[in-house]
């Protein structure tokens, strides 16, 4: 036996941290004789020999079994250097195999790869770490790599080695913290995990942080899966998207979707639709409704369905629940070819404590902060990323970029940004640590957000970054070069809360809350806002959008909702509406059940749906409404002060002078006749939308297609209209310059 006994014992007892120093083929001297020594550790093997590949015929050399676990060693004299070979071995169950030795290959990561990763600047590290089918020379196999700098040993385990942690120990690549192994003969579809030992000798079985596909809980193993099989057909879409780079004030009406509950298959156990089933059905519906984009609630792999995807364990993998990664690519491709953009909910703010995933990955607080005052999320019981650690930042940036590269996503909506920006977020005094200047801002998280936003815009022109940010943090949607965070858009949480607070009141009490409708204009142009009514507003006993509306009778609730939608679709800001809200679902959203599509058999729900469709068409077809959301010169209050009557009016103006829109809301059940409203232009004003029209389920009261202005002073204007304002309604009138 040439290998020292203690090194052999280290293999057999799962203590060997440097397997490539002993396994494989190495130059050796036995006595005075020079040659090579070959070692192999093969599960179930009882005989083994080394077969030379570059000599005529078949020349083999028997190896000696040193341990019944399948450890073999043999000295081959007369060899000046290592040579190409395979191992031919026989198992205890009588099978004969001939394979390449996993320990005869050079590392699959270069020194440059590792340097950039440790520096935090390897933006495509997802192509290096994880599991990747590839060929080394002419030898096919899978290259495994994982970052675990404090581990004493790491093995890759899977079906291919019976999940036995002894048989594929990985090698450490210097001081990089990366462990690597190329396993020849493996193919896509193999299940695997990493067995990670800490410095105290305790083993953790971890799934791959960079995995691209996972099996279902409770096992949560990663699956070897390439992401380059799909042939994309969306080249024209991507080219058009790039042409829009930097043009944030463009039409955007977003339909927010939870893929597992939008529509289900009742004929097959009420299961969710697959990616391939969803693609045509969702494309047809979104096209019919006139939305420009969908926003998909998180699809990055997650173990607990009840988290809705917001507790992520696989930051590079579409969830297995609806199909493999190639099917998700088909989904995106199909929608692109139908002219629909796709925004993905992305969750870099926190991650779950599940023992199989990122938490204490190598026995230390690797991805999270060790101090719970920095690393524990108080509200959700999750862990917070250590944004100051280069490799963690690299991991998250690579995750963001991978969704745009591998899956052609058009942008990311970044969840819970406020919790990232503030060290004292949802914490009491003494529960947080100030930054180095004594402040409450999380400087490392701010730096990370700026970096990821800039890199997305650099690599993928036209892709958008959207912040769910609920505070008054400055310059969220302003470029980093002027001190901003670099997002393209920010969710308008303030306007959402104010308008819902207003419309939830019984109409008789609204006169005392009129400021809820007007205060938002104080800050409207401080950011590039998206007005949102998202999933968060229709869960946890908050009631559905229709259920929130003040007044008791169902028809009045429907009228209120139509008036609210009409107000918001004509108010400055891009639009977002969560599924079910577009037809007035009564129930709160249930992630385990389909939307209540049967409600569309009822006229009041068809009316709400028809209104949303027509609002989208009006918004998209009129540039005054859809490309002037961020231009303060294109908005003017007409009368923001008639709280006694709960009437509000404003104008949307074409800066070129070609068109103007008048929006008037009457938010009590009282129909007002001859209500005078000032207008900025003389002439005919066509009534282009009336939320109380009978086609939407309303009373049909209105202005008979439009009104001519009169030279009567009102609201600071020389011209005015005498309008009929139906109760609980919003009407929209348009003036157009003569050709």
Alpha-helix runs per DSSP H in 290-437: 325-337, 372-375, 390-407, 417-421
Beta strand segments in 107-245, E: 130-136, 139-147, 153-158, 171-172, 178-184, 191-197, 203-206, 222-223
**From CA 344, how far away is CA 297, in angstroms rounded?**
7
In degrees and rounded to multiples of 5, residue 639 shows phi and psi of -145, 105
| 98 CB-near residues (< 8 Å, 6+ apart) | 51, 86, 87, 88, 89
Options 73, 256, 295, 415, the catalytic residue:
415
Task: Establish whether 468 is a catalytic residue.
Answer: yes
Catalytic residue check, 327? no
Q: No. of H helices and E strands in the chain?
A: 15, 36
The neighbouring-strand residues paired with 269 are none
In eight-state DSSP terms, residue 717 is: B
Q: Rounded to an integer, what distance in angstroms lies between the CA atom of residue 55 and that of residue 51?
A: 10
Helix (H) or strand (E) holding 52, with range, is: strand 45-52
Those residues whose C-beta lies under 8 Å from the C-beta of residue 438, and which sit 6 or more positions away, are none
CA 75 to CA 63: how far, in whole Å?
Answer: 8
Give the β-pairing of 191-197 and 171-172: unpaired
Percentage helix, strand, coil for the chain under 3-state DSSP, each rounded to 5: 30, 30, 45
Backbone angles phi, psi at 422, to 5 degrees: -120, 130
Question: Is-contact 699 678, C-beta < 8 A?
Answer: no
- Marked catalytic residue, from 391, 468, 582, 654: 468
Enter the DSSP assignment of 660.
Answer: E
- The catalytic residues are 415, 468
């Amino acid at each position: 036996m040439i290998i020292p006994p203690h090194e052999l014992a280290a293999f057999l007892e799962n203590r060997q941290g440097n397997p490539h120093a002993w396994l494989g083929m190495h130059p050796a001297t036995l006595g005075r004789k020079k040659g090579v020594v070959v070692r192999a550790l093969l599960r179930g093997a009882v005989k083994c020999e080394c077969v030379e590949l570059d000599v005529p015929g078949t020349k083999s050399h028997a190896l000696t079994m040193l341990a019944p676990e399948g450890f073999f060693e043999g000295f081959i004299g007369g060899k000046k250097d290592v040579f190409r070979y395979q191992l031919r071995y026989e198992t205890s169950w009588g099978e004969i195999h001939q394979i390449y030795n996993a320990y005869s290959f050079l590392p699959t990561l270069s020194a440059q790869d590792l340097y950039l990763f440790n520096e935090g600047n390897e933006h495509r590290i997802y192509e290096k770490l994880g599991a990747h089918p590839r060929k080394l020379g002419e030898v096919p196999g899978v290259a495994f790599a994982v970052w675990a700098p404090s581990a004493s040993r790491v093995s890759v385990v899977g079906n291919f080695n019976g999940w036995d942690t002894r048989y594929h120990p990985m090698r450490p690549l210097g001081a990089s913290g990366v462990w690597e192994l190329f396993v020849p003969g493996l193919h896509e579809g193999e299940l695997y995990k990493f067995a990670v030992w800490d410095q105290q000798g305790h083993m953790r079985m971890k799934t791959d942080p960079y995995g691209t596909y996972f099996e279902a809980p409770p096992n949560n193993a990663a699956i070897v899966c390439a992401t380059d099989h799909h042939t994309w057909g969306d080249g024209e879409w991507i080219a058009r998207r790039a042409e829009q780079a930097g043009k944030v004030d463009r039409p955007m009406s977003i339909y927010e979707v939870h893929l597992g509950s939008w529509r289900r298959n009742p004929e097959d156990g009420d299961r969710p639709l697959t990616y391939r089933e969803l693609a045509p059905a969702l494309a047809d519906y979104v096209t019919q409704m006139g939305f420009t984009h969908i926003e998909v609630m998180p699809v990055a792999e997650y173990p607990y369905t009840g988290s809705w995807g917001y507790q992520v364990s696989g930051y590079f993998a579409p969830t297995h629940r609806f199909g493999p990664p190639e099917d998700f690519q088909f989904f995106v491709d199909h929608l692109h070819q139908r002219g629909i953009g796709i925004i993905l909910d992305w969750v870099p703010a926190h991650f779950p404590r599940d023992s199989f995933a990122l938490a204490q990955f190598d026995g230390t607080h690797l991805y999270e902060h060790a101090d719970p005052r920095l690393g524990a999320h108080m509200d959700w019981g999750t862990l917070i990323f250590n944004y100051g650690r280069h490799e963690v930042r690299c991991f998250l940036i690579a995750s963001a970029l991978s969704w745009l590269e591998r899956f052609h996503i058009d942008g990311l909506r970044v969840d819970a940004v406020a919790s990232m920006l503030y060290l004292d977020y949802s914490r009491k005094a003494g529960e947080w640590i100030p930054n180095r200047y004594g402040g409450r801002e999380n400087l490392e998280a701010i730096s990370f957000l700026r970096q990821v936003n800039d890199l997305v815009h650099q690599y993928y022109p036209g892709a958008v970054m959207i912040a769910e940010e609920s505070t008054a943090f400055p310059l969220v949607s302003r470029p980093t070069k002027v001190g901003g965070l670099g997002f393209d858009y920010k969710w308008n949480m303030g306007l959402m809360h104010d308008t819902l607070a207003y419309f939830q009141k019984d109409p008789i009490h609204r006169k005392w809350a009129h400021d809820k409708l007007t205060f938002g204009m104080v800050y409207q142009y401080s950011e590039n806002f998206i007005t949102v009514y998202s999933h968060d507003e229709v869960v946890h006993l908050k009631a559905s959008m229709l259920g929130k509306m003040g007044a008791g009778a169902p028809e009045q609730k429907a009228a209120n909702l139509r008036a609210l939608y009409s107000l918001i679709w004509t108010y400055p800001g891009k639009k977002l509406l969560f599924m079910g809200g577009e037809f007035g679902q009564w129930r709160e959203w249930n992630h385990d059940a389909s939307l209540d599509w049967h409600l569309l058999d009822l006229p009041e729900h068809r009316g709400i749906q028809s209104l949303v469709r027509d609002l989208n068409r009006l918004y998209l077809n009129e540039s005054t409404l859809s490309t002037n959301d961020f231009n303060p010169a294109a908005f003017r209050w007409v009368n923001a002060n008639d709280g006694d009557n709960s009437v509000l009016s404003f104008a949307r103006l074409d800066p070129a002078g070609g068109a103007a829109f008048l929006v008037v809301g009457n938010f009590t059940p009282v129909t007002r006749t001859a209500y005078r409203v000032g207008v900025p232009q003389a002439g005919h004003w066509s009534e282009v939308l009336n939320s109380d029209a009978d086609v939407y389920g309303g009373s049909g009261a209105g202005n008979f297609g439009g009104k001519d202005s009169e030279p009567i002073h009102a609201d600071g204007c020389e011209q005015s209209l005498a309008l009929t304002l139906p109760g609980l309604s919003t009407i929209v009138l348009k003036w157009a310059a003569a050709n």
